[in-house]
A = this chain, B = another copy of it.
Amino acid sequence: MSADADERTEASDAALVDEARRWWHTDIIDVAPGAISLRGYPIEELIGRVGFVDTIWLMLRGELPSRAEADLLEAAMVASVDHGPQAPSIAIARMATTCGSPVNGAMASAINVLDDIHGGPGQQCMELYLEIDAELGAGEDVESVTRAVLERRRAAGMTYVPGFGHRFHPLDPRTPRLLSIVDRAADDGTIDGRFARIGRAVEDAISAGRTRRIPMNVDGVTAVIYCELGFTPELGRGVFILARSVGILAHAVEQMEQGGRIKGPVPKSIGYTYTGPARRSVPQERGK
């Protein structure tokens, strides 16, 4: 890209420098020689006085949370750190270390797959709750609005409701515990409580007429918490990733200690099944 040097004037240089300086701009962090501030707070005032979860909130939201808000976020994050080596993200982190990846590489390959299916249900559930909430006018009841939204979504092709049911747990052990914490926070006024009502209304609506209820899972209940606390769905997925990164790191390091080189998904003795065409020869006439 050849600079057209002759046409450049001093005036345009100043404009270019200004444009270049503004190319990257942020409300998050100010760094000057000897000084760092996050959202305006000097880093040395935050260190030791403000917790890690408070700092997560400050970085993502712009202001410090109240103690009670931070406690609620913290409970949701503790609940989400791990779900074991059957989760592809965890398995990938473990396999990566046996390929020689350092922790940053193992974490990157693993976090990367927390995409729409593996990391998205919480975010999608938040979008559902927010859609129901947006339709809740004065005087309307949560149950009927919830049923209407679900019917509309089903008509549009929704085949399952994100945040409800679990292929492994009949009842997710994280759900009742988190819900009781949510209820307590609603009682003491930390949160409003309407997303808890919406979440329960969704569970009722999709369980109606069934022998076995389809209970809220960890995605559904953390979605309640993130909505109550005012997080956007995108940030909801982000916070989940921060939490799950802990499990990813723990498993990566445990696998490093266990050793293993180029460890496949199953033992070599199990292997895989080839289902393709039978052995055949490249046509004789074929040249490149």
Number of copies: 4
Most chain-B Cβ atoms within 10 A of its Cβ — which of A41, A52, A178?
A: A52
Q: What residues of chain B lie closer than 8 Å to A52, measured between beta carbons?
A: 52-53, 74, 77-78, 243
**Chain B: which residue is nearest A54 at the CB level?**
B288
Beta-carbon contact of B116 and A100 below 8 Å: yes
A167 to chain B, nearest CB (A): 8
Most chain-B Cβ atoms within 10 A of its Cβ — which of A27, A102, A114?
A: A102
In the complex with contacts A17-B13, A26-B254, A32-B2, A262-B115 CB distance below 8 A: no
Beta-carbon contact of A42 and B279 below 8 Å: yes
Beta-carbon contact of B31 and A55 below 8 Å: no
Q: What residues of chain B lie closer than 8 Å to A99, measured between beta carbons?
A: 88-89, 113-115, 117-119
Q: What residues of chain B lie closer than 8 Å to A138, measured between beta carbons?
A: none
A252 to chain B, nearest CB (A): 8
Contact with B along A68-111 (1 / 0, CB 8 A): 00010011011101111111110110111011111111011111
Beta-carbon contact of B100 and A25 below 8 Å: no
Beta-carbon contact of A27 and B254 below 8 Å: yes
Beta-carbon contact of A274 and B10 below 8 Å: no
Give the distance in Å from the alpha carbon of A241 to the alpha carbon of B253 in the complex.
Answer: 13
In the complex with contacts A37-B279, A104-B112, A286-B64, A253-B265 CB distance below 8 A: no
User: 8 Å CB contacts to B: which residues of A46-74?
Assistant: 46-56, 59-60, 62, 64, 71, 74
Beta-carbon contact of A34 and B169 below 8 Å: yes
In the complex with contacts A1-B272, A273-B24, A47-B267 CB distance below 8 A: no
Flag whether A14 is at the interface (Cβ < 8 A): yes
Q: What residues of chain B lie closer than 8 Å to A100, measured between beta carbons?
A: 113, 115-120
Q: What residues of chain B lie closer than 8 Å to A274, measured between beta carbons?
A: 1-2, 25-27, 29-31
Q: What residues of chain B lie closer than 8 Å to A247, measured between beta carbons?
A: 28-29, 59
Contact with B along A241-284 (1 / 0, CB 8 A): 11101110111111010100111111111111111111111110
Contact with B along A11-44 (1 / 0, CB 8 A): 1011011011111111111111111111111111
A169 to chain B, nearest CB (A): 5
In the complex with contacts A269-B19, A282-B41, A48-B262 CB distance below 8 A: no
Beta-carbon contact of A41 and B79 below 8 Å: no
Give the distance in Å from the alpha carbon of A120 to the alpha carbon of B21 in the complex.
Answer: 29
Flag whether A230 is at the interface (Cβ < 8 A): no
Flag whether A208 is at the interface (Cβ < 8 A): no
In the A-B complex, the 3 residue pairs with the smallest Cβ-Cβ separation, listed nearest first, are A99-B118, A100-B117, A108-B112
